[in-house]
C-alpha cells in the first residue's frame, strides 16, 4: 500500500459547491474529501490533515440551502453498490450504498423484480440522504419500507447499525436532523420490500390516473411511470431550474386551529391525522397568499407548485432565504401559521 493510500482519500482544497447542490447556490468548501467506504471515513478521522474544525456530510445536495462558504471539512459520500441481501416469504431486503442515486436505485429494484419503492420514484438525491429527511411521496414514506442502515460514528470512527426505532423517523424528520446531526455518516441503507406486492393508490393524483386510464390494478412499472409523470408535470427538474423540492413542511395544527381556519377559508386543503390533529397543505396556503409564480431578486416561487422555491439564475442562498421569510410572514399574517423550512439551511 502506498503511503498516500494509507493516509486516506485525497483532500481537495477550496472546492466550489454550486454543482454539488440542486439549488445551484454558490458556496465554497474550504476542504472536501470523497469517501467510498467506512474505512475511508476512519482514515480521514485518523489523519486530520485538512486543518478544518468540524465535519459536514454532503449527500446528493438536493435538500440543502447554502447561505455561506463551508469552513468544516466536507465529507462527500460516494459509497457505491446495490444488492439483494435477504429474501423471506414476506419480504425482499435490498441494500444500497449511500452514494447511489435514489431514483436510479428505485428503477433498478423494479427491473430486478423487487417492487415496493415505485411511489418514491424521481425524488432527487442520494440513497444516504433518504433516511435523513425520511423522504415521502404519494402515500409512502421511507420509514414504511425501511429495514436498517449502517453509519460511521464521526467521533469514534466506529461502524454502527441502526434499526427504524433508533432512526426515530417522523414526518420529514429523523435522529439525523437532531441528536446525530453532524455526528454520523450513513454508508449503506437496507430497505424491506413487502411480499406479496400491493399497489399504494390512495393519493388523489394516483386515483385520477386510475380513472383516466381505466387501469384499476396497475403493475409496479405502470405505477412508477404514473408517479414520474405526475412529478414531471408539477415539480421542476433541478437540472433545468435549481430547487430543493418542497421548501416548507406541511404544517400540523390542533383541531381547534383547524376548525378556525376552515371557518374562515372553507377551501383550505387539509388532511385529518389519526391523533385528531390536522395537516394543512403549505402549497395551498402560499398560493392563497398570491405567491405562485412571483420572483424576488433572483429567487422565485415555481409557477406550477407554490411549495417549491426556485433559483431563477444566479441566486444566492441569502436571496432564497429573503423570499422564504417574506412567504412565512405573509402566511403568518393571514393564517397565523408559522411555516417551517424543509431543507437544511447552512
Ligand atoms: N396546492 C395548491 N397550490 C399550490 C400547491 C399545492 O393549491 O401551489 C394544493 C394542491 O392542489 C393539493 C394540495 O395543495 O390539493 C397538496 O399538494 P400536492 O399534492 O402537490 O402535495 P404537497 O403537499 O404540496 C407533498 C410533499 C411532496 C410530495 C407530494 C406528493 C411535503 C412538504 N411535500 O407535497 O414532497 O412529492 O406531497 O406526495 O410533504 C418534497 O418533500 O420535496 C416533496 C416534493
Model pLDDT for residues 62-73, shown as the tens digit of each residue: 999 999 999 999
> Of 77, 110, 132, which one is at a domain's C-terminal end?
77
pTM reported for the whole predicted model: 0.94
Count other Cβ atoms within 10 Å, centred on residue 202: 11
* 279 CB near ligand 1 (under 6 Å): no
CATH number (domain holding residue 89): 3.30.465.10
In a domain, 214, yes or no: no
In a domain, 135, yes or no: yes
Per-residue pLDDT, 1: 41
In a domain, 270, yes or no: yes
In a domain, 234, yes or no: no
Average pLDDT over residues 176-205: 95
Ligand 1 center to residue 307 CA distance, Å? Answer: 7
| DSSP output for 127-154 | TTTTTTTT-EETTEEGGGGEEEEEEEET
* 243 CB near ligand 1 (under 6 Å): no
In a domain, 235, yes or no: no
Average pLDDT over residues 308-325: 97
pLDDT at 10 over 50: yes
Residue with CA at minimum distance from ligand 1 atom 23: 281
CA atoms within 13 A on the CB side of 44: 32
Q: Which three cell numbers stand for residue 247?
A: 421548501
Q: Closest ligand 1 atom, CA of 306?
A: 8
Average pLDDT over residues 294-316: 97
Binned at pLDDT 50, 70 and 90, residue 50 comes out as low
Question: Domain containing 112: what range?
Answer: 82-194
Per-residue pLDDT, 6: 64
Per-residue pLDDT, 3: 43
> Of 77, 101, 128, which one is at a domain's C-terminal end?
77
- The per-residue pLDDT of the chain, averaged, comes to 94
* 184 CB near ligand 1 (under 6 Å): no
Question: Could you tell me if 180 and 70 are in contact, meaning their C-beta atoms sit under 8 angstroms apart?
Answer: no
pLDDT at 142 over 80: yes
Q: What positions carry a catalytic annotation?
A: 172, 246, 342
> Of 77, 100, 120, which one is at a domain's C-terminal end?
77
Choose between 133 and 49: higher pLDDT.
133
Q: Is 142 exposed, middle or buried (0-12, 13-18, 19+ CB in 10 A)?
A: buried
Amino acid at each position: 500500500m502506498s503511503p498516500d493510500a494509507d493516509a486516506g482519500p485525497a483532500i481537495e482544497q477550496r472546492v466550489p459547491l454550486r454543482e454539488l447542490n440542486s439549488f445551484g447556490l454558490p458556496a465554497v468548501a474550504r476542504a472536501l474529501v470523497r469517501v467510498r467506504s467506512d474505512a475511508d471515513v476512519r482514515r480521514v478521522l485518523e489523519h486530520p490533515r485538512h486543518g478544518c474544525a468540524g465535519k459536514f456530510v454532503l449527500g446528493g445536495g438536493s435538500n440543502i440551502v447554502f447561505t455561506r462558504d463551508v469552513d468544516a471539512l466536507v465529507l462527500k459520500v460516494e459509497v457505491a453498490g446495490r444488492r439483494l441481501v435477504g429474501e423471506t416469504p414476506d419480504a425482499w431486503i435490498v441494500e444500497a450504498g449511500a452514494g447511489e442515486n435514489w431514483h436510479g436505485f428505485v428503477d433498478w429494484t423494479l427491473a430486478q423484480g423487487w417492487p415496493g419503492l415505485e411511489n418514491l420514484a424521481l425524488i432527487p438525491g442520494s440513497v444516504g440522504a433518504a433516511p435523513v429527511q425520511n423522504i415521502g411521496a404519494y402515500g409512502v414514506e421511507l420509514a414504511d419500507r425501511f429495514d436498517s442502515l449502517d453509519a460511521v460514528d464521526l467521533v469514534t470512527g466506529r461502524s454502527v447499525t441502526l434499526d427504524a426505532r433508533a432512526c426515530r423517523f417522523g414526518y420529514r424528520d429523523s435522529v439525523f436532523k437532531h441528536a446525530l446531526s453532524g455526528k454520523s455518516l450513513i454508508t449503506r441503507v437496507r430497505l424491506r420490500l413487502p411480499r406479496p406486492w400491493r399497489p399504494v393508490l390512495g393519493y388523489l393524483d394516483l386515483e385520477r390516473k386510475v380513472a383516466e386510464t381505466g387501469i384499476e390494478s396497475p403493475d409496479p412499472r405502470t405505477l412508477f411511470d404514473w408517479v414520474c409523470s405526475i412529478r414531471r408535470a408539477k415539480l421542476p427538474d433541478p437540472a433545468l431550474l435549481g430547487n430543493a423540492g418542497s421548501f416548507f413542511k406541511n404544517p400540523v395544527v390542533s383541531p381547534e386551529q383547524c376548525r378556525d381556519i376552515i371557518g374562515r377559508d372553507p377551501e383550505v386543503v387539509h388532511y385529518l391525522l389519526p391523533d385528531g390533529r390536522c395537516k394543512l397543505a403549505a402549497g395551498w396556503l402560499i398560493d392563497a397568499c398570491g405567491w405562485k409564480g412571483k420572483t424576488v431578486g433572483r429567487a422565485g416561487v415555481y409557477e406550477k407548485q407554490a411549495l417549491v422555491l426556485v433559483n431563477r439564475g444566479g441566486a444566492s442562498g441569502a436571496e432564497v432565504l429573503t423570499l422564504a421569510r417574506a412567504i412565512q410572514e405573509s402566511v403568518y399574517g393571514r393564517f397565523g401559521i408559522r411555516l417551517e423550512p424543509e431543507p437544511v439551511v447552512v
